[in-house]
A and B are shown apart, each in its own frame.
Chain A
């Protein structure tokens, strides 16, 4: 295949490609139209080409969907320390109250209205796939480059980049396939995350000069914290590790303060609220119960409010060979990363039911799959272990629950899903969050 041949429109397939890429001139579109109207074979070729484009795009989405969301953790020190603008009191001025007041006013003036200390500098590139657009031009992405308002930085599919902010201890880690625009430094730092994910460690910012990161759906206002912001075409997700971030949904101005270890999602038709972060699902267990049917667990007086114990699972899988004569309930929420059809499977040593709600309310759940024994992760032993394809929306959370009652023998339990365009996998922790339990409850 030699691609370096002269360009021309003699090949009808090339005209189709130009059309599908939106670059075919209008008169050529008319010619293509006439050709496709009369030529069935060409219509077939066109259909195949457009199908191929769509499937190529989906292949990339599938790869992104399968990749763990938290591939890289930024380890940037956070320091909410003293500003360099603060000056020590001058002892010799003490008798001169007026002078002291003026000095104080000067300090406050510098603190509140002085220029923002840090401006973004490209500090690190993982691979060599970072592009920077300045005006209409490309600027080489070199370490130490000072970014300017209007610059657009984009990371490749296998790349990551780190921005630091001059003397202050603020850093942003941009994950792969992320597009960030530096909007302005006039009243604080204003950035626009068009797509992708960034992890931020933000030193304390000056009052009235916050760092603001806007996405297509929301605005995160920060005065000093650690957090992660992820945006797609339809939703923005904020995960806060330290401090407090205010997230404002731009479509209606609704806002929420998201504290440490909480997250929030801004998207159409999603209730804006601070929710416990994803990262696990709650398992509660009841011991010393005979029988091997979930109904026997349901008849226990201690069920569902008084389990003998509970633990947080790091993925939707219970450790094998946990015990005998027990029942357990695993419940929480799934957070679909993509909108589309999901298929679920359950595999367990004993009778178990998998229920899923079409909302975040447990009362809306219906049974979607059951297991009745078999070896670990034998997903296709029985057709009932598999759900029908279920359409779930990214940016929403759905209540999910498993009830199992096991007796003796090797016990095991796992729940898998197949996301749109992805492979079957045990549901990873990053797409799970536990139910909010009452304080002190086991």
Chain B
């Protein structure tokens, strides 16, 4: 587990760990379901470890890992009996690069702390919407029935919630 007694794949796990948020986000951009993305990310971790001997260390880990993640994510969509409808590989890779620009796990951790604080600025109703959608993974139709709102209104509300959180996180990171 520590360097002196490492198994060969432990370096792979270490690398995944150091890029886990980027990889999770990248997988989510492909599978388009936060909870399926969690499962697919676990599989990505194993696949990276299994393929570790084939990784050319002279290349950046991030783009190689995204290649592995893309294959695994597409497979997990097919396993669900769905046909992948996703962005082009080149667009996905550009988004991966954008994700890299958010920084390392420490910086991403600060961003997550800011995000948690920013949830406090939302109205009670909007926090409830976040909870139902992202914490409980409930579908829009179900949420619409529960809250007595239209699906369209929920999309608009969530878009605004994301924008509000985005602005709040940026403010907090600037102040930090």
Contacts and interface: CB of A to CB of B under 8 A. Distances in A.
B7 interface: yes
Interface string A34-53: 00110000011111111111
Contacts of A3: 125-126, 129, 149, 153-154, 156-157, 160
B159 interface: yes
Given A22-B32, A54-B28, A57-B38, A358 B162 contact: no
Nearest to A21: B32
Contacts of B21: 51, 54-55
Given A14-B156, A358-B5, A21 B140 contact: yes
A256 to B, nearest CB: 24
A13 B159 contact: yes
Contact of B25 (A18, A51, A341): A51
Contacts of A51: 21, 25, 99, 102, 108, 111
Contacts, number: 181
Contacts of A4: 149, 153, 157
Given A3-B153, A29-B85, A233 B166 contact: no
Contacts of B91: 33, 36-37, 43
B111 A55 contact: yes
Interface in B30-59: 32-35, 37-39, 42, 45
Interface size on A, as a range, is 35 or more
A296 interface: no
Contacts of A275: none
Contact of B29 (A20, A234, A368): A20
Interface of A: 1, 3-8, 11, 13-14, 17-23, 26, 29, 32-33, 36-37, 43-60, 131, 138, 156-157, 177, 233-234, 339-341, 356-358, 364, 366-368, 387-391
Given A7-B156, A46-B29, A357-B1, 8 more contacts: A43-B95, A54-B34, A55-B111, A56-B130, A60-B134, A157-B136, A177-B136, A368-B2
